[in-house]
């Protein structure tokens, strides 16, 4: 009965290859998501490049806006851009379904060719078995891997960390930077007022254009300090 596979070796090989690639795509996506989920258990000390990029981009957006970022939207976009071998994982999932459908399509073509060649229903039964077993394997692996559930877990872990741990730390750093800027401004103002009398006497000793460089010097220093404070 299974000798019919040798009558259409090319189709049989393609059916097997597409079925195998379909399962591999599911497994790759599942393993990558599982790895990222395990990294989020100790996300503050992780060395995973994609998680570190997520934290760096979030910190950049937070500092740029000066306020809290829409964390859920940010995490959704990050998960959509997760890659393996420079290919987005969402494409692996889509490719898995397409490859499975190609496998079924080729099995149907092989059945039609066998019927046209005069083979009986019993003789072409192996192709039906391959199609049914292929679908069973695909949905079994899909259920075990459970890509959607892993995406939800990863999103929950990242959102929880960014909102409840990362944002307070960024806010603390921002407040400390503002306090340092205020201290520098107060220190400069005190030094400026202390030296003001002596500087006025110095500028009085110059005439016209000669006094302008001295005044310009203090103006530049004050502008630099204000730029540093409001940066």
Phi, psi of 210 (to 5 degrees): -65, -25
Q: How many CB atoms lie within 10 A of CB 111?
A: 21
pLDDT at position 62, please?
82
Phi, psi of 86 (to 5 degrees): 65, 20
Tell me how far apart the alpha carbons of residues 143 and 141 are, in angstroms, rounded to a whole number: 5
pLDDT at position 217, please?
54
Tokens of 117: 């060649």
pLDDT digits (tens, 9 = 90+) for 190-228: 665 565 555 554 545 544 444 455 445 555 665 665 555
pLDDT at position 206, please?
45
Is the pLDDT at 13 greater than 80? The verdict is yes
């Amino acid at each position: 009965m299974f000798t019919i596979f040798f009558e259409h070796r090319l189709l049989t090989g393609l059916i097997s290859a597409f079925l195998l690639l379909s399962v591999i795509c599911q497994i790759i996506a599942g393993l990558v998501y599982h790895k990222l989920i395990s990294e989020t258990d100790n996300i503050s000390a992780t060395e995973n490049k994609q998680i570190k990029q997520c934290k760096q981009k979030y910190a950049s957006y937070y500092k740029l806006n000066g306020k809290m970022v829409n964390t859920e939207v940010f995490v959704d976009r990050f998960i959509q851009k997760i890659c393996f071998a420079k290919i987005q994982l969402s494409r692996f999932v889509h490719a898995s379904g397409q490859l499975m459908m190609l496998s079924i399509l080729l099995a149907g073509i092989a059945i039609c060719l066998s019927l046209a060649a005069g083979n009986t229903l019993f003789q072409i039964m192996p192709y039906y078995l391959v199609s049914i077993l292929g679908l069973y394997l695909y949905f079994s692996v899909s259920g075990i891997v459970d890509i959607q559930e892993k995406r939800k877990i990863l999103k929950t872990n990242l959102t929880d960390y960014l909102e409840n741990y990362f944002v307070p730390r960024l806010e603390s750093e921002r407040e400390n930077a503002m306090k340092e800027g205020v201290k520098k401004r107060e220190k400069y103002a005190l030094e400026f007022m202390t030296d003001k009398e002596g500087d006025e006497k110095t500028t009085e000793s110059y005439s016209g254009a000669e006094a302008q460089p001295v005044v310009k010097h203090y103006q530049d220093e004050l502008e630099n300090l204000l730029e540093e404070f409001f940066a």
